[in-house]
Amino acid sequence: MAREDVSYKSDGETVIGHFYTPDGAEPPYPCVVMGGGWCYVKELIQPEYAKFFTDAGFAALTFDYRHLGESEGEPRQHINPWTQIDDMINSVTYAGLRDDVDAERIGIWGISYAGAHVFPVGALDNRVRCIISVVPMLDGYYNVLRANSNVGYRELMALIESDRTERFKTGKHGTIAHSAHPHEELSSWPAPETWPVFKKFKETVAPNHEHWTTVQSFEYALRYDVTPYMKRIIYTPVLMVTSAYDDITMTEFEVPAFNTIPTPRKKLVQIGGDASHMSLYDNPDHLDLVGQAGAEFVAEYL
């Protein structure tokens, strides 16, 4: 697949992206707009999944959200999910205005945090023709309680309260690790297997990845719940992919939530065996299953 470095505005700030095109196909291309999760940059796992789309004849657009990677936005490493949702909507607009994209054939794909972002985008944007959600974090409050335990939750709430005061006094944001071993450091998502995988990406293909955020980013996650938007999707095709057991974005929450989506054109794919959240990033067999499922779904509906 060929790659073009692109830039465009999202609410007045510059977003930097990569536009991938299929070899041997003629434009205008159907296109999949892709979104990454917590602290992701466009080089982190998304090119691997984009190749499944380009191999099937589709273009793919990846991008850095504002405040992350090469895109503009201050403070850095500040994650407001609704700002990221706006970035996805503006990326759909950008793709649809390209001469080499068929604006009537645009789908969206998201993984982890963005696996949930796709539901508000898909519910609110009629230009979206299909939705792919991979291991989504659908309800931040539930996810935080489940991931951190009651004791961890108390510590995180104390940090949030302290940060609110300091931010009010100084205007400066406190920071928190993306992930860490729960016995070693307070973090947003205390899964010890996360950092080694992200570290490998950072050292190889995604040097702009930073494994921390503002504390307020975590506070925003507690307010985040996309399940009302899932109930609004009455026609647009939806593919959700979960792992057999995911204790980072919680399979036991994902599957019942999928069942609330009204559209009859929906499909749930579960990666079985020893699949987990992080195995969809570093296990080639699991990545292949997820990628093929996505490519087959867009081939059917775009």
What is the pLDDT averaged over residues 207-230?
Answer: 98
Q: What is the pLDDT of residues 124-137, one digit of tens each?
A: 999 999 999 999 99
Could you give the dihedral angle defined by the CA atoms of residues 36, 199, 151 and 38, in that order, rounded to the nearest 10 degrees?
Answer: -10
**Better-predicted residue by pLDDT, 70 or 151:** 70
Using alpha carbons only, give the angle 166, 168, 169 rounded to the nearest 5 degrees: 65
What is the pLDDT averaged over residues 191-217?
Answer: 96
Give pLDDT, residue 149.
Answer: 86
Give pLDDT, residue 6.
Answer: 98
Asked if pLDDT for residue 206 goes beyond 90, the answer is yes
For residue 169, count other CB atoms closer than 10 A to its CB.
8
Q: What is the pLDDT of residues 44-72, one digit of tens each?
A: 999 999 999 999 999 999 999 999 999 99
pLDDT tier, 202 (very low <50, low <70, confident <90, very high otherwise): very high
Give pLDDT, residue 227.
Answer: 98
**Helices and strands (H, E) in the chain, number of each type:** 10, 10
Place domain 2-139+225-301 in its CATH homologous superfamily. Alpha/Beta hydrolase fold, catalytic domain (3.40.50.1820)
Give pLDDT, residue 130.
Answer: 98
- Domain edges within the chain: 2-139+225-301
What integer best gives the mean pLDDT of the chain?
Answer: 97
pLDDT tier, 107 (very low <50, low <70, confident <90, very high otherwise): very high
Q: What is the pLDDT of residues 254-300, one digit of tens each?
A: 999 999 999 999 999 999 989 999 999 999 999 999 999 999 999 99
pLDDT tier, 182 (very low <50, low <70, confident <90, very high otherwise): confident
CB 92 within 8 A of CB 63: no
Q: How crowded is the C-beta side of 196, counted as CA atoms within 13 Å?
A: 7
Distances from the Cα of 280 to the Cαs of 217, 257, 268, in angstroms? 24, 20, 16
β-pairing, 266-271 with 238-243? Answer: parallel
Name every residue whose Cβ is closer than 8 Å to that of residue 9 and which is 6 or more positions away in sequence: 15, 90
Asked if pLDDT for residue 183 goes beyond 90, the answer is no
For residue 97, count other CB atoms closer than 10 A to its CB.
10
Give pLDDT, residue 220.
Answer: 98
pLDDT above 70 covers what percent of the chain?
100
